[in-house]
Amino acid sequence: MTTPLRLGIAGLGTVGIGVVRIVRQQAALLSARTGRDISISAVSARSRDKDRGVPLSSYAWEDDPVALATRDDVDVYVELMGGTDGPAKASVEAAIAAGKDVVTANKAMLAIHGQALAEAAEAAGVSLRYEAAVAGGIPVIKALTEGLAGNEIKRIVGVMNGSCNYILTRMESAGLSYEEVFAEADGLGYLEADPQLDVGGIDAAHKLAILSSIAFGTRVDFDGIELEGIERVSIEDIRHAADMGYKIKLLGVAQRTGRGLEQRMMPCLVPDTSPMGQLQGGTNMVAIEGDAVEQVVLRGPGAGEGPTASAVMGDVCDIARGTRLPVFGQPAAGLDTAPRAASVLPAPYYLRMALVDKPGALAKIATVLGEAGVSIDRMRQYGHDDTSAPVLIVTHTCTRAAVDDALASMQSTGVLTSDPVVLRIESV
């Protein structure tokens, strides 16, 4: 096609302005790579008067994103506002109903409403693309839907929230507490307006739900994710883990087992020599394991104006070329609802607890673990204060159910001075 591809962009924050800059600065390159000029017809945002650092006067302005999504001079509606529902969802639905292709960076909306939106888009014969919704500039969606399409995916594992990775690596490098680094990250603008989306693991879990759907041919099931944030990770845990040859990461894991789809987003220990163990700062990393390719590791910036706008424009370019794919790699109507499986696959576990400083306390804990079928691989006791003694235990491979049984029995021993911390040790 030789007619220009016309964009309507809703949301002129960091990513939206990044998209505007790419369209303006790389016009000749985009045309050469797609065989079609790409232009912006209209934009929408909360405020018209804000200085965003790029000229916008040549574009029509719509206060209502739904009106923008249905304009006659918009071929592709680019939704960069965010939000699970509200204007984002309403405008995407309107664009699909009007026969417009859609590009979005909205992971929360897709994790909750992705199935319905995918079915609507495919019924209307339009594209719904979202590379920017997962892992920023890393082309993980394209890798799963295209490059690895000949593989049966066995497992996905990744660090998918740069803010959490920054906090954990900063705690280690500076020897600071979680509370101190949280305040620092918040002051630097690294956290969402609602920080719980980051540190509670919700943002990363949205991404994992999307990847799981593509990888395993299932309907998006955000509610099926075992979710735990990083709030309980202490500087002591980080130091103890390092002492044992591990790093702590907020790790997303998805795999299909005989019992169903296992999805979890929680702090885990990974070997400090592994690629994920060495991952620093706000960088993201996703490892995909397939039957033919074995393992592919993708690493790159997980957020920011340039990386995320780059992902948006990758989708826009595919639409300009005429590339059409099912939203989740397979027709949405054929995606199944996978049974939810808890963490049933055995693994080693890290346990940190504080015991009363008296003879026999550690023996009671060891007995309880043994009775629950949990074998101790390594155990260390650190310097104690007047009332308690910190103890670190690494188990042999066992089930989480066995660990939970042991933890429940420990409560009646009378030797715990606080609730134990439990972290899974993941092979990556």
Q: Which residues are catalytic?
A: 207
The Cβ of residue 119 has, within 10 Å, a number of other Cβ atoms equal to 15
User: Are the beta carbons of 127 and 121 closer than 8 angstroms?
Assistant: yes
The Cβ of residue 360 has, within 10 Å, a number of other Cβ atoms equal to 12
Kindly give, in sequence order, each residue whose CB lies less than 8 Å from that of residue 17, ignoring residues fewer than 6 positions away.
Answer: 52, 53, 54, 305
CA-nearest of 227, 252, 280 to 157 is: 252
Torsion 284-289-292-293 (CA) sign = positive
What span, in angstroms and rounded, lies between the C-alpha atoms of 89 and 91?
A: 6
The two three-digit tokens of residue 158, written as one number: 């990744």
What span, in angstroms and rounded, lies between the C-alpha atoms of 350 and 297?
A: 26
The two three-digit tokens of residue 150, written as one number: 């000949």
User: Are the beta carbons of 93 and 120 closer than 8 angstroms?
Assistant: yes
